[in-house]
Amino acid sequence: MKKVLVNLVNYEKYCRIGCDHLSAHGFALHFNPYGRVYQPEELHRAVADVEAVVADNELWDEAAFRAAKKLKVIAKFGVGLNNFDLEAARRNGVIVANCAGLNANTVSEQTLALFFAVTRSIPRLARAVRQGVWERPVFTEYGGRTAGVLGFGAIGRKVAEKLVALGLRVVVYDKFPNLAEAGRIGVHVAGMEEVLAASDYLFLHVPYLPETHHLINDETLLRMKAGAYLINTARGMVVDEAAVSRALASGRLSGMASDVFETEPPPPDLALFRHSNYVCTPHIAGDAYENMEANGLATATIITDVFAGREPKNRQA
């Protein structure tokens, strides 16, 4: 029986269809016992005799691939591949595929939830009501204001659609924007500088790449509209957190919300935590029942396709 190591915690609980699919195709499932992401040494021990892996955010570098001597395929649960050395995968003859596109809706909902939370101070005011404190700020309506979306892939498009439904004017930047989608949704395509300068609310939906490392830094923050809000549900390292903390302190930014951190879990003394106009969630945007089931089936199908000699969907290496 071929062995599949499932690194994603809760796969057994929330991805029944995926589990059943693998079992029906003769795979024996082994689950991550730690309740968290594997550390490198733990991973290297666990992968020694497995043929396939359902990956989470554990590190897949040369050493990990070397440790996995029988490994044929890795199905990445979710989209982001920043924990993968894809060259090392190729060198070691391992196929890597992800679940591109599936999580777009759930991530866009989390993005909008964080947007509402930070622009209407929902966590802070809920806490005040709980503590018996009456505080009542005045806000600005969304209608007619400008939202900027950096990165117009599957998630950026879903976010843009929802912002349009809220009556916002939406400007988007992408290296290679899909103009048909821009026209269908009703957004303006612009240059990066124009999006930075025009946006009352700036949304980050770029992948993490060397070129997007600290895309939002002291300098880009100065080129943003004064008093703007920043929402990051992409990857933590796209943002220089220290620079954002300074911008929140100076009032240059009115608020920031994020589902992701430069280091996850974040250190308890993270400077951003000192700001009451900062809202965060623990990298949870993808964790919807519907998305777990969809990713569960997609990862299982990647694995069974490879063993049946078929090219898997969304192959990345």
Partner 1 sequence: MSNVLVMGIDSPTFPPEVAEGLQRAGCDAVRLVDAEAGEADLLREIAGADALMVGRGRVDAALLNAGTGLKIIARIGQGASGIDLDAARERGVAVTHAPGTEDASRAELAFGLLLCMVREIPRLDAVTRQGVWMRTVFHELPGRTLGLIGCGPGAREMAIIARGFGLRLLVCGTEKDCLSLDGLDRVSRKDVLRDSHYLSVHLPDVPANWHTVGREAFTSARKGAMLVNVSGPFLMDFDAAQDALASGRLAGLACCVDPSLVGHPLFQHERCIGYPYDGPMTRESFRAAALSAARNVAAALTGGSVENRLA
Of the residues 1, 33, 93, 134, which one makes contact with partner 1 according to CB under 8 A: 134
Say how many C-beta atoms besides its own lie within 10 A of residue 263's C-beta.
Answer: 10
Q: Is the CB of residue 251 less than 8 Å from the CB of residue 220?
A: no
Active site residue 283: yes
* 57 in contact with partner 1 (CB under 8 A): no
| Total residues belonging to the chain | 317
Contact set for partner 1, span 244-283 (CB under 8 A):
264-266, 268, 273, 279-282
* 232 in contact with partner 1 (CB under 8 A): no
Active site residue 264: yes
Of the residues 59, 100, 166, 190, which one makes contact with partner 1 according to CB under 8 A: 166
Measured from the CB atom, the residue of 100 and 166 that comes closer to partner 1 is: 166
The whole-angstrom separation of Cα 77 and Cα 305 is 16
Can you tell me whether residue 141 is helix, strand or coil?
coil
- Which residues lie across from 102 on neighbouring strands? none
Of the residues 33, 93, 143, 309, which one makes contact with partner 1 according to CB under 8 A: 143
Measured from the CB atom, the residue of 105 and 304 that comes closer to partner 1 is: 105
Q: Which of 21, 205, 235, 252 is catalytic?
A: 235
Of the residues 12, 42, 218, 287, which one makes contact with partner 1 according to CB under 8 A: 287
* 301 in contact with partner 1 (CB under 8 A): no
- Which residues lie across from 228 on neighbouring strands? 253
Can you tell me whether residue 91 is helix, strand or coil?
helix
Of the residues 11, 65, 84, 142, which one makes contact with partner 1 according to CB under 8 A: 142
Contacts of 24 (CB under 8 A, 6+ apart): none
Cα–Cα distances in Å, from 268 out to 144, 263, 273, 282? 38, 11, 8, 13
Total of chain residues touching partner 1, rule CB under 8 A: 57
- CB crowding 217-228: b at 16 or more within 10 Å, else e: eeebbeebbeeb
Measured from the CB atom, the residue of 86 and 126 that comes closer to partner 1 is: 126
Measured from the CB atom, the residue of 33 and 143 that comes closer to partner 1 is: 143
Q: Which of 21, 169, 252, 283 is catalytic?
A: 283
Q: Provide the 8-state DSSP code for 132.
A: T
* 136 in contact with partner 1 (CB under 8 A): yes
Of the residues 61, 135, 193, 219, which one makes contact with partner 1 according to CB under 8 A: 135
Helix 122-130 / helix 104-119 crossing angle, nearest 10 deg: 60
Half-sphere exposure of 168 (CA within 13 A, CB side): 26
If residue 73 lies in a helix (H) or strand (E), which one and from where to where? strand 73-76
* 141 in contact with partner 1 (CB under 8 A): yes
Placement of tokens 């903390």 in the chain = 245
Binding map of partner 1 across residues 6-25, x = CB under 8 A, - = no contact: ---xx---x-----------
Instruction: Report whether the peptide linkage leading into residue 265 is cis, meaning its omega lies within 30 degrees of zero.
Output: yes
- Which residues lie across from 204 on neighbouring strands? 150, 232
Of the residues 30, 63, 72, 161, which one makes contact with partner 1 according to CB under 8 A: 161
* 210 in contact with partner 1 (CB under 8 A): no
C-alpha closest to that of 147 among 136, 132, 125, 162: 162
Measured from the CB atom, the residue of 140 and 222 that comes closer to partner 1 is: 140
Smallest distance, Å, CB 255 to partner 1? 12
Q: Which residues are catalytic?
A: 235, 264, 283
**Residues contributing to the site for partner 1 (CB under 8 A):** 9-10, 14, 105-106, 109-110, 112-114, 116-117, 119-120, 122-123, 125-143, 161-162, 164-167, 264-266, 268, 273, 279-282, 284, 287-292
